[in-house]
Every structure is written in structure tokens, then in C-alpha cells.
Amino acid sequence: MISTGKVRNMLAAGAAVAFLAIAAAPSRADDISASHLQAARGAITAIKATDPFDQILPNAAQALKGQLIQKDPNLQEDIIAIVDKQALAMASRRADLETESATDYAKAFTEDELKAIAAFYNSEAGKKLLEKGPEVTAELARAADIWQRGIARDLAEAVAKEMAEKHPIKNTAPVVDGGNGSQPQQDSSKKQ
């Protein structure tokens, strides 16, 4: 039987070996050439991949202004001036997001693929796809929703019909006379 101390030592040694192997291996980002990163930046610009994030800093500044002004309304002018000044000072950090995005795209696509992506999205067809794509996608989602409801309804009806044909349900409700005032009659299938 192996003692607990020996198991711990073996685990520690294994972890150390794994750590050294990972540390010694070159990072995937280190393998990306400058031209590959440039192609990635071109693709990112063409597809407007990071454009949705442009409002993060202005929205954060606006929210902070609102919170601070609510706490100290008499300091409104100073709050606005200081928040705007600090937000402008942080605007250069937007480049960090571009660098990270370019690295991620470069890891996912070859340089030639990135150039092809940029070429397409810089073409008239690519620009139109970016412009009209969200609108078309929303229409497609609506159409798919309608289709889903219709197909589910039709499937349920078809299954119910076939099940009824295979397993007829005996009517156990009383048969009502056609309105002549007589008493309801029992279903004859219940007679013994």
C-alpha cells in the first residue's frame, strides 16, 4: 500500500513536470507573424467585429455620472468634467481589444483566409451583407418561428389522426337527441 505522503509527492512531481512542459512550449500567439496579425486586423475592420464594443466606455462613463450625481447633485459639474476627463484618458485602451481580437482571429484563420475574408467584406456584396444581414436574420427568425409552430401543429394533428385510426376511442358520452325534447340515450356500444 502506498502512503499518503508518497502519493502527494508523486502528484506534486507530476504537476511540476506538466507545468514545465507547458511553460517550455512556445505560445501560439508567439507563432503569429506580423503580416498574419495585420491580415487579422484587416478582417476585423472589414467585418466590423469589434464595433459593437465601441459604446462600452461611453456607457460606463454615463452610468457612473448618473450614480455620482444622484449621490451628490451639488457636484454635478465637477463629476461630469472629471468622469469625461478620465474616460478620455482610458480611450486609448480600446487598442488592447483590437490586439486581442486580432490575435484570436489569427489563431482561428490562416493569413490567406483572413485576406479573403477582408476582400469579401470590403466588396459591395460584403458591405451589403453586413448592412442587410441583421435585418434578414431577424426576418428568418420570424419565418422559422411561424414554420415551427405550423410543423408542430401539423405533426400533432397527423399523429392524433393515425392514433385515432389505430385505436378508435369509444364514445362514452350520452347521445343527445337532435332537439326534440326527448331524454338523452345511452351509447349502444355500452350494452352488455
Q: For residue range 33-90, what is the model confidence (pLDDT) as tens digits? A: 999 999 999 999 999 999 999 999 999 999 999 999 999 999 999 999 999 999 999 9
The Cα 82–Cα 13 span in angstroms is: 53
Mind listing the pLDDT tens digit for each residue in 88-123? 999 999 999 999 999 999 999 999 999 999 999 999
Phi and psi at residue 185, to the nearest 5°: -105, 150
Region of 48 (left: φ > 0; alpha: ψ -120 to 50; beta: rest) is left
Cα–Cα distances in Å, from 10 out to 4, 6, 21?
10, 6, 17
Domain-ending residue, one of 122, 138, 159 = 122
Mind listing the pLDDT tens digit for each residue in 150-176? 999 999 999 999 999 999 876 555 555
The Cα 165–Cα 162 span in angstroms is: 5
Judged against a pLDDT cut of 60, whether residue 188 lies above it is answered with: no
**Is 90 within the bounds of a domain?**
yes
150 and 102 in a single domain? The answer is no
Place of cell 514545465: 20
Mean pLDDT, residues 126-144 taken together:
95
39 and 116 in a single domain? The answer is yes
Provide the domain count of the chain. Answer: 2
CB of 124 closer than 8 Å to CB of 49: no
Q: Model pTM?
A: 0.58
104 and 163 in a single domain? The answer is no
pLDDT of residue 22: 39
Range of the domain at 45: 31-122
Beta bridge partners of 142: none
Q: Per-residue b/e over 118-155, b at no fewer than 16 CB within 10 Å?
A: beebeeeebeeeeeeeeeeeeeeeeeeeeeeeeeeeee
Closest CA to 45 of 112, 144, 126, 136: 126
**Is 16 within the bounds of a domain?**
no
pLDDT of residue 31: 83
The Cα 75–Cα 82 span in angstroms is: 11
pLDDT of residue 173: 55
86 and 149 in a single domain? The answer is no
65 and 51 in a single domain? The answer is yes
